Structure 1
Amino acid sequence: MGTNQVEMCPVARLIFVVYLLVTTCSASPPNFVLLFADDLGFGDLGCYGHPTSITPNLDRLAADGLRFTDFYCTSPVCSPSRASLLTGRYQTRSGVYPGVFYPGSRGGLPLNETTIAEVLKPLGYATAAMGKWHLGLGQNGMYLPTRQGFDHFLGVPYSHDMGPCQNLTCFPPDIKCFGHCDQDVVTIPLMYDDIIKQQPVDFLDLERAYSDFATDFITMSAKKKQPFFLYYPSHHTHYPQFAGPGAAGWSRRGPFGDSLLEFDSTVGNLLSTLENTGVLNNTLILFTADNGPELMRMSRGGNAGLLKCGKGTTYEGGMREPAIAYWPGIITPGVTHELASTLDILPTFAKLAGAKLPMVQLDGVDMTDILVNQGPSKREAMMFYPTDPSVRYGMFALRLGKYKAHFYTRGAGHSETTPDHDCHIISILTPHDPPLLFDLESDPSENYPLSLQGRPDLQALLQKIQAVREKFEATMEFGESQIDKGIDPNLEPCCTPQCTPKPSCCQCD
């Protein structure tokens, strides 16, 4: 594997080294903006080949930045994927499994886990999160972002389909949300820090609120000459899609396309704010997504491109994601085929900021060399865990170099409706001995397992893969499952907590 980019000349490389020395030792280390899309497939963006998606601002980041072709999340569903992103550790270590958190979940991302925000805070960073948290709420908001290193939070504490949505407006002038979402729980709240500001949330105005929040945060940080970290895990493009008047009806792709366009517009507003405040050239913007598309929603569920299956599965479509890194003057525009992951974001931000790494077992590696020096990845392998990982089965698949071995395969309800029956929920857990082996460079769709017959080289490769697997699993300590702690309806957020009858009475403007 290699990086297809223009070579950085020796002078430019020297300038960058001096730049790092200056920024990590001065009062102005780099700023970080982390954009995290929801249920977005490898084939959903214009810059990744979709013919009708309108994503001009993400396309700009891709054209002027570094676009990844082999970038992975750690889980094919959102809560565990988000835990790994923020901690640099597989979700199995933190206990964010099986599945996802719900409005009344007792558990959350353990407070003894160290997030990116907590890594940067000791260096004087201002930190803010906006959008979809989905790492727990808990008793008295104990798991909210403000308890995990973020100064401020504006957003929904879980997924915006986790509340009745059939009477809510998702598109103007008064187009109701498609489907019914979850029932018999409170309507979706919008929170500022740990206070409910609105319940149910106004979908038509939500993105404007986020954009204004980000503008104020960046502007204030720049005015104070304070480095900042902005984390934006977007609700777009998770079901049910929504968009305000600035995006609704403007794409040729229907509700999904309109929702994606609105998210892209916020990216454009962020870029404008960074430019207007004079900090764009000192800001690393990194974009990726939490898991693959929810194919059961058909045209409303996203697109995995040429990759196999989607959300809920450990096939490529479930966990390989679009990813873009943008930093004017530092990152040379191009495309990289190096192996990288959301796990690598924490150690990379720490390296660039000059921050100390947490004293725990990290699964991420620093990818600074990929971003700025066209160097090779430090990542040897990528592990694929299912939505319900266990000590009994361990990882379902492992990628080493360009090869991927499946020890177990299974379909998922999230990936129903596709012609490929391997993706469907009726495709039950199937062990493979020897493992199914694919060359992802010649067969990224995982259609053609390699035959080991007469191939001593592939047999040797499988032995190496098994050795890597055994070495890694010897280091894996499964944390106590946070999701198995169960649900308490009394923990569901309600802006009028003493009202009756619950949950329908929980409403405020």
Structure 2
Amino acid sequence: MGSSCFAFFGILLLCTCSASPPNFVLLFADDLGFGDLGCYGHPSSLTPNLDRLAAEGLRFTDFYSTCPVCSPSRASLLTGRYQTRSGIYPGVLYPGSIGGLPLNETTIAEVLRPLGYATAVIGKWHLGLGHNGMFLPTKQGFDHFLGIPYSHDMGPCKNLTCFPPDIKCYGLCDISNVVVPLMENEVIKQQPVNFLDLERSYSDFAANFITTSVEKKQPFFLYYPSHHTHYPQYAGIGAAGQSLRGPFGDSLLEFDNTVGHLMATLERTGVINNTLVFFTSDNGPELMRMSRGGNAGPLKCGKGTTYEGGMREPAIAYWPGIIKPGVTHEMASTLDILPTLARLAGAELPQVMLDGVDMTDILVKQGKSKREAMIFYPVDPSEKYGLFAVRLGKYKAHFYTQGAFHSSTTPDKDCPETAVFKAHDPPLIFDLEADPCEHYALPVDTPDIQSVLQQVKTVKEQFESSMVFGESQVAKGTDPNLEPCCNPECSPKPSCCQC
């Protein structure tokens, strides 16, 4: 019996060797907080399609990204490995970055392609562009790419229209960079990007990809890393002014509308019952933007920090007939998506150190997680200090804490950048079931907590002994000549890069 058949018969007990492999749609929001969706309790967010997925699927309460900023969390999602192994640290990649996700790293797309999967990504890549586009998705296992190669605020945005009819984007963004390009595969399609039409372009591209794959009877993997709800927010005619939450709510609604369009396409093409749809976010909300920055719900701090608000994310798994509606409190992570999809597809795992575990039992049986611990690295990890925090079971121990400018403006003094680096010996320890807000550190002088701390320290030592830091790709620096320009010979740059 082949590995693909074994995956279906042994795991799902659904079908025989003649069954079609499952399709996968991976939805990845940007800077969306734990408390931003209607189904996670926000009183004024309008997210009917994501709420439907949560009502009819499995909603996670204890799901984590691996980093509180963009590029590292995306590297971990696609490789099943902490960003420290792949070298996507410290911080994020920029338009002219020399480095990118190393080509010897294996992405989910590269795991699935040998089994005949069609693969596509729409939206925000943010894992490097490099010389001659060497780090673009088409060099990392994806057949198709329509999107922006980095974050959409990495260019001058003040004079761009973000909301109809002619409301300019809020803020200055990165004025010295070229205007933001829209790329199709490895070619610049539009520069600067038209924000008002961008989501429709993504939605149509994705629907066509799904339809074509179904017509070819080819299983598919669609990765949709949205720009929503990262600052500056934008929304086209279908969403602008339609929510109760202002620009942030409108951008979130537009993302939700695209999710609805994709779900309708899956239903129309008849593959909804053979498709796993998984949704989560890359990191917590950018609280410094106040009402335009998202909401972490009851969790402490947000983007840029290793507190819960920076790395615990909303997550939903949906697969009619396979995943029963419900809520799971089991611990899981973006790291676990690669090994899970590999098992469901019957694909071989990369022959490298993986940090993810298969969460099929959680999805199919609402069973226990194989994940025993979650590791928390800061934005700027180093071998000198190692990890900042460890979650083991319901307990989380902070060995180091530090605020971040991304989490400024909040009344909590531990969140902003003025909360300087601080070592804790003994570590601060919290019971995340009783106190998910991390307000009340437990006394460390009781026998029970002493036992927990010893277990945590053992996990920390074992993990750090296995960690080999990859060469930092961010530290390779930037080269203005690598910034994408549709008119590369023009002058003066960067303002002349328009088409």
TM-score clears 0.5: yes
Q: Is the 8 A contact 1:23 1:353 kept in 2?
A: no
CA distance in 2, matches of 1:70, 1:17: 29
CA distance in 2, matches of 1:57, 1:464: 42
Q: Deviations over 1:325-344 (max 9, x none)?
A: 00000000000000000000
1:350 aligns with 2:348: no
Q: Is the 8 A contact 1:24 1:354 kept in 2?
A: no
1:491 aligns with 2:482: yes
1:385 aligned to which of 377, 381, 406: 377
Q: Is the 8 A contact 1:25 1:354 kept in 2?
A: no
Q: In 2 relative to 1, CA 75–23 (structure 1 residues): closer, same or farther, beyond 3 Å? A: farther
1:481 aligns with 2:481: no
Q: Is the 8 A contact 2:8 2:344 kept in 1?
A: no
Match of 1:164 in 2: 156
Residues 54-93 of structure 1: matches in 2 within 5 Å? 54-93=46-85
CA distance in 2, matches of 1:310, 1:25: 46
Q: Is the 8 A contact 2:8 2:15 kept in 1?
A: no
CA distance in 2, matches of 1:25, 1:405: 46
Q: Is the 8 A contact 2:426 2:444 kept in 1?
A: no
Match of 1:8 in 2: none
1:331 aligned to which of 303, 315, 323: 323
Q: Give the deviation of 1:35 after TM superposition.
A: 0.2
Structure 2, unaligned stretches of length 5 or more?
A: 1-6
Q: Deviations over 1:383-440 (max 9, x none)?
A: 0000000000000000000000000000000000000010010110000000000000
Q: Deviations over 1:196-222 (max 9, x none)?
A: 000000000000000000110000001
CA distance in 1, matches of 2:473, 2:191: 26
Q: Deviations over 1:140-181 (max 9, x none)?
A: 000000000000000000000000001000000000000011
Q: Is the 8 A contact 1:24 1:352 kept in 2?
A: no
Q: Identity percentage over the alignment?
A: 78
CA distance in 1, matches of 2:11, 2:65: 30
Q: In 2 relative to 1, CA 24–499 (structure 1 residues): closer, same or farther, beyond 3 Å? A: farther
1:471 aligns with 2:462: yes
1:191 aligns with 2:174: no
CA distance in 2, matches of 1:26, 1:436: 54
Matched AA of 1:413: F
Matched AA of 1:505: C
Aligned structure 1 segments of 4 or more residues deviating by more than 6 angstroms: 21-24
CA distance in 2, matches of 1:35, 1:19: 24
CA distance in 1, matches of 2:483, 2:443: 52
Q: Give the deviation of 1:16 after TM superposition.
A: 7.5
CA distance in 2, matches of 1:21, 1:196: 46
Match of 1:462 in 2: 453
CA distance in 1, matches of 2:486, 2:351: 39
Match of 1:137 in 2: 129
Matched AA of 2:332: A
Matched AA of 1:38: D
The secondary structure found in structure 2 opposite 1:404 is strand
Match of 2:434 in 1: 442
Q: Give the deviation of 1:26 after TM superposition.
A: 3.9
CA distance in 1, matches of 2:211, 2:428: 52
Q: Is the 8 A contact 1:23 1:30 kept in 2?
A: no
Q: Give the deviation of 1:502 after TM superposition.
A: 0.5
CA distance in 2, matches of 1:233, 1:154: 11
Match of 1:154 in 2: 146
Residues 30-429 of structure 1: matches in 2 within 5 Å? 30-429=22-421
Q: Give the deviation of 1:183 after TM superposition.
A: 1.1
Q: In 2 relative to 1, CA 383–186 (structure 1 residues): closer, same or farther, beyond 3 Å? A: same
Match of 2:4 in 1: none
The secondary structure found in structure 2 opposite 1:304 is coil
Number of residue pairs aligned between Structure 1 and Structure 2 = 493
CA distance in 1, matches of 2:206, 2:333: 25
Q: Give the deviation of 1:357 after TM superposition.
A: 0.0
Matched AA of 2:477: G
CA distance in 1, matches of 2:272, 2:492: 50
Matched AA of 1:388: D
CA distance in 2, matches of 1:36, 1:270: 14
The secondary structure found in structure 2 opposite 1:438 is strand
Q: Give the deviation of 1:191 after TM superposition.
A: 0.1
TM-score, scaled relative to structure 1: 0.96
Matched AA of 2:472: S
Matched AA of 1:359: Q
Q: Is the 8 A contact 2:9 2:15 kept in 1?
A: no
Q: Give the deviation of 1:110 after TM superposition.
A: 0.2
Q: Give the deviation of 1:102 after TM superposition.
A: 0.3
Match of 2:496 in 1: 505
Q: Give the deviation of 1:375 after TM superposition.
A: 1.2
CA distance in 1, matches of 2:186, 2:15: 33
Structure 1, unaligned stretches of length 5 or more?
A: 1-14
CA distance in 2, matches of 1:506, 1:452: 58
Q: Is the 8 A contact 2:99 2:476 kept in 1?
A: yes
Q: Is the 8 A contact 1:54 1:257 kept in 2?
A: yes
CA distance in 2, matches of 1:383, 1:125: 32
CA distance in 2, matches of 1:23, 1:489: 54
CA distance in 2, matches of 1:20, 1:434: 45
The secondary structure found in structure 1 opposite 2:433 is coil
CA distance in 1, matches of 2:74, 2:468: 19
CA distance in 1, matches of 2:14, 2:439: 49
CA distance in 1, matches of 2:243, 2:15: 41
Q: Is the 8 A contact 2:86 2:102 kept in 1?
A: yes
CA distance in 2, matches of 1:356, 1:24: 20
- The CA RMSD over aligned residues, in Å, is 1.2
Matched AA of 1:79: S
